[in-house]
Amino acid sequence: MAHFEKARSLGEWFDQRLNTTGFIKVMMTEYWIPKDINFLWAMGMILAFTFKILIISGIFLLMYYKPDVDMAFDSVNYTIMQEVGYGWLFRHIHGVGASLVFLIIYIHMFTGIYYGSYKKGREMIWLSGMLLLILFSAEAFSGYMLPWGQMSYWAAYVITNIFGGIPVIGDELVVWIRGNFYVADSTLTRFFMLHVFLIPIAILGGIAFHFYTLRIPHVNNQKGEEIDFEEEANKYLTGRKKVSKVIPFWPVFMAKDVFVLSVFLFFFFYLTFYHFNFAMDPVNFDPANGLKTPAHIYPEWYFLWSYEVLRGFFFDIGGLKAADIGLVAFGFAQIIFALMPWLDKSPTVAPANQRPYFNAWFWIMIVILIILTIYGKLPPTGTNAWVGFYSSIAFILLFLALPIVTMKEAEKTASSIKPTGGKH
């Protein structure tokens, strides 16, 4: 056993047993972050913080929520909203948080794409981020079912039905997921378990893994510069802080992060108190009724783009059924972002504005996603259906074109770097 001396303070007592100073160094005071980053690099911490807010507000809601088809709606709309002191506040915080977490995830993800932060050794950061996106989507979907309103019921119906399109096992799979032949009490209770237990645990593990994937490649920076972290850290530690290209995570980087986080929290609570309705669909204030289909069924705003890809193919093409084409297109939309590190063939790590071809690609992709999102909420009739169809095709073509666009860019970059022969 190690030798223990009598500790002179509580800190030293813990240090002897847990190596707290070593731990703090590795995780915080000597964990190096590039200096050349902007507020967009605070999004990761904002996400981690918003997840905490969701857990805490969720725990309060959990004390009064009843996962039973006969009681769920009332436990949310009467007990929590009207009878429990500040129940409404926790519900609004939870609803607004769920919506904002997706806004920030999308900003975080598109920042990664814009700066090429998924390249050259950063693939695992990207893939673990994608895993988190899937987990958050599952968490949001299962949570949306819990108030057992009309949209909860019908969104659950539509989404679980999607699995029916899988060849051979589809129909049985839908029954297995629902725990019944239709969306019923068994569906509600299992999604409740997933929402409050299994998925949050998986998310915690996912976040820990995502942080771990950052340790070796480190975060990228605004210019995509390859930094020698050891050398730059050495400069910082030997007092040459101005010339060093890095800063420690704690307290220097966090001081900046906390500022961005505070601005975000102003926005968060402004929405919570004054515009909470944006995160709640009016149709969901009607209790679930399996015999009355709402006029239009649509998911929350953050799923609209992929929902529109699903229903964009509204007519049969050749021998292929519209629903099957839609399902394949939907599957494509779900996995295609994960393949970014391999679809982008250019080795250049630089912001998109320094990569003209990629820049055009990036902004077209954003515009298409916005169009898909807008039309995903509109009834799919007349012109709307055609806009949905063409934007879904455009979305797919755009990703198929990415390897070609970036290969061209790589060739152009290679030919513009002239070989430098002669004396130095």
Binding site for ligand HEM (CB under 6 A): 41, 43-45, 47-48, 105, 108-109, 112, 115, 117-118, 122, 125-126, 129-130, 132-133, 136, 207, 210, 214, 219-220
Report the residue number, 135 or 325, with the smaller CB distance to ligand HEM. Answer: 135
Q: In angstroms, what is the minimal distance from the CB of 138 to ligand HEM?
A: 12
- Residue 7 DSSP code: P
Cβ–Cβ under 8 Å, residues 117 and 219: yes
- Residue 6 DSSP code: P
Report the residue number, 29 or 293, with the smaller CB distance to ligand HEM. Answer: 29
| Dihedral-angle region of residue 7 (phi above 0 means left; psi in -120 to 50 means alpha; beta otherwise) | beta
Q: In angstroms, what is the minimal distance from the CB of 214 to ligand HEM?
A: 6
Report the residue number, 117 or 392, with the smaller CB distance to ligand HEM. Answer: 117
Report the residue number, 132 or 385, with the smaller CB distance to ligand HEM. Answer: 132
Report the residue number, 41 or 313, with the smaller CB distance to ligand HEM. Answer: 41
For 152, the token pair is 């909860």
Q: In angstroms, what is the minimal distance from the CB of 194 to ligand HEM?
A: 17
Q: At what angle do helices 123-145 and 87-114 cross, to 10 degrees?
A: 150
Residue 189: partners with Cβ closer than 8 Å, 6 or more residues away: 67, 68
Q: In angstroms, what is the minimal distance from the CB of 105 to ligand HEM?
A: 5
Q: How far apart are CA 112 and CA 338, in angstroms?
A: 12
Report the residue number, 105 or 151, with the smaller CB distance to ligand HEM. Answer: 105
Report the residue number, 219 or 374, with the smaller CB distance to ligand HEM. Answer: 219
Which single residue is written with the structure tokens 């968060």? 268
Q: In angstroms, what is the minimal distance from the CB of 220 to ligand HEM?
A: 3
Which single residue is written with the structure tokens 């770097």? 417
At 389 the three-state DSSP class reads helix
- Residue 320 DSSP code: B
C-alpha of 306 from chain center: 14
Q: What is the dihedral of CA 180, 185, 186, 190, to 10 degrees?
A: 140
Q: In angstroms, what is the minimal distance from the CB of 249 to ligand HEM?
A: 10
For 187, the token pair is 């569906």
Strand partners, 248: 32
Q: How far apart are CA 145 and CA 183, in angstroms?
A: 10
Q: In angstroms, what is the minimal distance from the CB of 207 to ligand HEM?
A: 5
